[in-house]
Amino acid sequence: MYTPSFIVVALATVFAASVPEAEARGFLARIHSARSTPITQLSDGNEMQYGNSSLAPGLRNWQSSGILTRGCDIKSAKITDCYGIYLSANQNEHTGDSPRQRAEFRTKSQLAGHSAHYTWKQYDEAPDTSTAVSQSDFSHRWQLFNEEDIAPVVTLDAINDTATILDYAPRRINCGGKCPAIPLKSFVGRNLLHSLKVTFGPNGQLDYVLTDADSGKQLLTYNTQGYMGGNTSYVKYGCYRTTQPGQAPIHMAVGDFAYEQLS
């Protein structure tokens, strides 16, 4: 089991690990050469863990079966309030109590009819090269989640060599035809800005824009109306995926979350 444990205080780093050498080498090298920003381990990958300390306004908690840190080791990530995520390539590791891996941040619940605007940044370094082998496979980077049905309504997934919107609302299956998508190579290895405006509830609206945070270029948009959850819903972002043989590890940074209550 991949069980690293480390604390960075000021300029000193202490790191203890027991991992398969081939998988760990690159990850450990980055930790040891991380920026002077302190890195604190929040979850260790041994079980599902939760926390809510010092989160940005609008967030309720984080939940992680993998390795989650406050502070990031990815030097290319231009994120000030940065969290690091690592999920193992081993399908039997970082799963908590299910055959899935996750490290996500959850917003506070919203009642039907209320509107909110969320933004956050992401840098996805290790591409998820998993291929969906069934309709139940997923690798969510964000979810609009129906709290009552315990099910996603709209998600952004990195799967089948694409970053694609998935819409699960019965009247919008496959986004009414073909969901917007971009090649995965346009999604990884770059600083991304997510902008998600939602009016929650059965008669809601969603406006989503994915932008290259460095150039300002729009990469993907999705705008739709109708069902956006039941009486209460929320948004989650980070990574939540089914596990498969031969999957790639996930190494990413997220943060700079901002929230505005519109109504």
Which fold does the domain 46-261 belong to in CATH? Jelly Rolls (2.60.120)
Neighbours of 243 (CB within 10 A): 20
Please state, in angstroms and rounded to a whole number, the distance separating the CA atoms of residues 161 and 40.
Answer: 32
Reply yes or no on whether the pLDDT at 2 is more than 90.
no
Q: Let me know: does 221 contact 210? Beta carbons within 8 Å.
A: yes
* DSSP letters spanning the chain: ----EEEEETTEEEEE----HHHHHHHHHHHHT--SS--EEEEESSS-EEE-TTPPTTEEEEEESSEEEEB---TT---SSEEEEEE-SSTTSS-TTTTEEEEEEEEPPEETT-EEEEEEEEEE-S-------STT--EEEEEEEETTTTEEEEEEEEETTEEEEEE--GGGGGGGS---EEEGGGTSSSEEEEEEEEE-EEEEEEEEEEEETTT--EEEEEEEEEEE-SSEEEEEEEEEEE--TTPPPEEEEEEEEEEEE--
Please state, in angstroms and rounded to a whole number, the distance separating the CA atoms of residues 68 and 83.
Answer: 7
| pLDDT given at position 24 | 43
Please state, in angstroms and rounded to a whole number, the distance separating the CA atoms of residues 234 and 232.
Answer: 7
Q: Let me know: does 207 contact 220? Beta carbons within 8 Å.
A: no
| pLDDT given at position 27 | 56
Using one digit for the tens of pLDDT, what is the confidence trace for 115-124? 999 999 999 9
| 86: its two tokens | 């690592």
Using one digit for the tens of pLDDT, what is the confidence trace for 63-108? 999 999 999 999 999 999 999 999 999 999 999 888 899 999 999 9
| pLDDT given at position 87 | 96
At 47, phi and psi to the nearest 5? -165, 170
| pLDDT given at position 244 | 87
Cα angle 52, 144, 132 (rounded to 5 degrees) comes to: 105
Q: pLDDT class for 15, splitting at 50, 70, 90?
A: very low
Reply yes or no on whether the pLDDT at 48 is more than 70.
yes
